[in-house]
Structure 1
Amino acid sequence: MPFDALTEATLRTFLAAFYEKVRRDGLIGPVFAGAISDADWPRHLATIQDFWSSVLLKSGRYKGNPFGRHQALGRLSPAHFARWLGLFEETARETFSPEVADMLVERAHRIGDSLKAGLFFRPAGIPAG
């Protein structure tokens, strides 16, 4: 039964289910596997929980730089973002009521659009890199 409220506990459940899908995915799973060892996944999930808790629940726990972390990977493409967002939306709709899922998906798209703009937008005449 879908959750009707977004709390730390329901967010944790959602993120665990979502990142299980991510890790198994043929397109984005290898990117994550190359950046995060199996032993580091619990720590990574805690960081991700802090990020989304800060964004969605205003907890203020996340103090990192998500743009810098994604930029350091160096091998991301718009297709990676599209797949990530597709899995995010699928899992949100499986986990939460439509109202909560819509809010999560909208926020994920805004964050994804911001990251993509920073990673892939190059004004004319400015070389990449």
Structure 2
Amino acid sequence: MTSPDLPRPPAQDAPLRRFDISGAEIDEVVRVFYGKIRQHPVLGPVFGAHVTDWPEHEEKIARFWRNAILREKCYNGNPMRVHVSRSDIKAEHFPLWLDLFHSVLKAELPTQTAQSWGALADRIGEGFRTGVTAMRQPKDAPPKLF
């Protein structure tokens, strides 16, 4: 865990990154987050129904975030399709996921880094929530906007 108030040296190795964070910090946030997911009364059973190898899942999600933040081009997948195809994943799960994710970010990262990653997670989470809602509607139904 790093101090939220100490400035960090600028990263020289990845000039295209969205904000200053290391791959090791991403890995640690993902590890801590999924430890909390497994204990969550609502989200734990949903994830547990689909994740059979937690270290493999955590590695895959860390690659997703490395791709999104560090632009490493190390993730290949379609997370929207995965979320939509699992009927037990509900739109109301995403705010719970985001609240838990934000709490981990705040505990594990400097304030500015946690805020930057949290804003990105909010956009992605809202996209998934909207996608899950829209893709599961009857074809001729009017759109649900909330």
> TM-score higher than 0.5 here?
yes
2:91 and 2:132 in contact (8 A); partners too:
no
3-state DSSP class of the match of 2:89? coil
Q: What is the percent sequence identity of the aligned residues?
A: 29
Q: Structure 2: which amino acid aligns with 1:33?
A: G
1:2 and 1:94 in contact (8 A); partners too:
no
3-state DSSP class of the match of 1:64? coil
- Is 1:66 aligned to 2:61, yes or no? no
Deviation at 1:2, TM superposition (A): 2.5
Please state which structure has a larger fraction of its residues in helix. 1
Query: In structure 1, what is the Cα distance between the partners aligned to 2:49 and 2:42?
Result: 12
Structure 2 matches for 1:28-107, cutoff 5 A?
28-37=43-52, 40-107=53-120
Q: TM-score, normalized by length of structure 2?
A: 0.79
* Other-structure match for 1:114: 127
Q: TM-score, normalized by length of structure 1?
A: 0.89
| CA offsets 1:14-69 (integer angstroms, 9 cap, x no match) | 110011001110000000100012xx111111110110000011001111000011
Larger Rg: 2
Query: In structure 1, what is the Cα distance between the partners aligned to 2:89 and 2:142?
Result: 17
Give 5+ residue unaligned stretches, structure 1: none
Query: In structure 1, what is the Cα distance between the partners aligned to 2:67 and 2:139?
Result: 35
